[in-house]
Amino acid sequence: MTEVKKLDLTKSGHVRKPEWIRVKAPTSKGYHETRNLMRGLKLNTVCEEAACPNIGECWTKKHTTVMILGDTCTRACRFCNIKTGKGNPVDPDEPAHVAEMVVVTEMKHIVITSVDRDDLEDGGADQFVKVIAAIREASPETTIEILTPDFRNKPGALETVIAAKPDVFNHNLETVPRLYTQIRPGARYFHSLNLLSKVKEIDPEIFTKSGIMVGLGESETEVLQVMDDMRSADIDFMTIGQYLQPTKKHVDIEEFIKPDQFLKFKKRAKSKGFLHVSSSPLTRSSHHASEDFEVLKAARLEQLNKAESKVHEDAPIDIEEMKKHNPNYEF
């Protein structure tokens, strides 16, 4: 994966995508209904702002990832299509609008993300809490997944969000440590890793999740090391997807990783102990999030049952105690 390969270009100079990563433009009725609903409630989505290739599939099913705290990020990560600059004023009606959207679409599982808000004292933590509370009140059965910024230099922000008890806490590492200064110059790899570890330390019941992009020039060994780092932080769920360059201004694609390599990554990650792994060219953080949450719950239950069985198998037999309760039995 470290070898930089010559990529095919279109006549306009854009990188030509291989067959396995091409998707059709969204045209379905469900897509347009979802789009109109988001517009009506004045909600932003990472699906649109980040130019997600799965938007047609997800919006047809009325699955959206709501992006709170405005449409402008205070960071300038070189892979991301979200505009950067001064953050928008925090909308006090946003939590109610998100909750209304959940009720209208009858969502069973929702993903809430946000732009980075380094300009806010708490990094936007309070708005996450308010959105979670509004959803819980309006639709108690809906499970909630959050995809947060790193809350760097925001003391107490992480703890505030954890206390709101989301069902899944996601924060993406995005890439391997060596590429951070190039890809995520405003972030720190080990800060992000420690953030996820702290979630588990404070509330072990919350599922933790993180993902990376590949095709940026990382090596296979580096990807495997990230897997080990994630497991050291007790992360439950890992996602791996192909980086796609939003515009020519963004960091170049170094390689299109083939589907069989993604399957290989999935097998290696599962062998390291993740409860669930999603690894494919079109995998994104919240793609199939509802289905993945069900898999996570089932995997945890299986893990707990195995642990309980092992406890019973390993329990020492107290012969003297058995004699007291069974005086007529020959031991």
Pick the residue with more confidence: 182 or 16? 182
Q: Is the pLDDT of residue 241 over 80?
A: yes
Indicate the range of 17-26, 90-99, 168-177, 204-213 predicted with least confidence: 17-26
Tell me the two tokens of residue 45: 């989505």
Alpha helices of the chain — where are they, by DSSP H? 29-40, 46-49, 55-60, 94-105, 125-138, 157-163, 180-183, 189-202, 220-232, 259-271, 289-314, 319-325
pLDDT band at 3 (very low <50, low <70, confident <90, very high): very low
On the question of pLDDT at 314 being above 90, the answer is no
Residue 327: predicted pLDDT? 57
Residue 194's pLDDT is 97
DSSP string for 104-122: HHT-SEEEEEE---TTSTT
Residue 150: the pLDDT is: 97
Instruction: Quote the DSSP letter at residue 139.
Output: -
Segments making up each domain of the chain, as ranges: 22-325
Higher pLDDT, 295 or 35: 295
CA distances from 166 to 135, 159, 207, 211 (A): 11, 12, 9, 18
Q: Name which of 250, 214, 281, 229 is nearest 50 in CA terms.
A: 250
CA pseudo-torsion sign 215, 81, 99, 235: positive
Question: Locate tokens 């988001």: which residue?
Answer: 38
Percent of the chain predicted with pLDDT > 90? 62
Average pLDDT, the chain: 87
Residue type, 58: C
**pLDDT for the residue 228:** 98
| 154 closest CA partner among 127, 120, 204 | 120
Q: Please name the residues in contact with 273: beta carbons below 8 A apart, sequence gap of 6 or more.
A: 231
Q: Residue 62 has what pLDDT? A: 61
CA count, 13 A, side-chain hemisphere, 84: 12
For 47, which DSSP code? H
Distance CA 133, CA 37 (A): 21
Q: If pLDDT is split at 50, 70 and 90, which confidence band does 64 have?
A: confident
Residue 2 has a pLDDT of 47
- Separation of alpha carbons 317 and 145, rounded Å: 44
| Cα gap 242→95, rounded to integer Å | 32
164 conformational bin, left if phi > 0, alpha if psi -120 to 50, beta if neither = alpha
Q: How far apart are CA 227 and CA 214, in angstroms?
A: 13
Q: First-to-last CA distance in the chain?
A: 64
Assign residue 42 a region: left if phi > 0, alpha if psi is -120 to 50, beta otherwise?
A: left
Instruction: Give the closest residue to 197 by CA, choosing from 239, 231, 151, 246.
Output: 231
Mean pLDDT of 265-271: 98
Residue given tokens 């509370």 in the structure block: 133
Cα(112)–Cα(257) distance, integer angstroms: 28
Instruction: For residue 176, name the pLDDT band (cuts at 50, 70, 90).
Output: very high
Q: Measured in whole angstroms, how far is the alpha carbon of residue 33 from the centre of its chain? A: 25
Counting residues of the chain whose pLDDT is more than 70, the rounded percentage is: 82
Span of 29-33, 262-266, 311-315 with lowest mean pLDDT: 311-315
In sign, the C-alpha dihedral spanning 63, 66, 71, 76 is: negative
- Residues 9 and 16 sit within 8 Å (Cβ to Cβ): yes
- What pLDDT is attached to residue 12? 61
CATH superfamily of the domain spanning 22-325 = Aldolase class I (3.20.20.70)
Task: Give me the amino acid identity at 320.
Answer: E
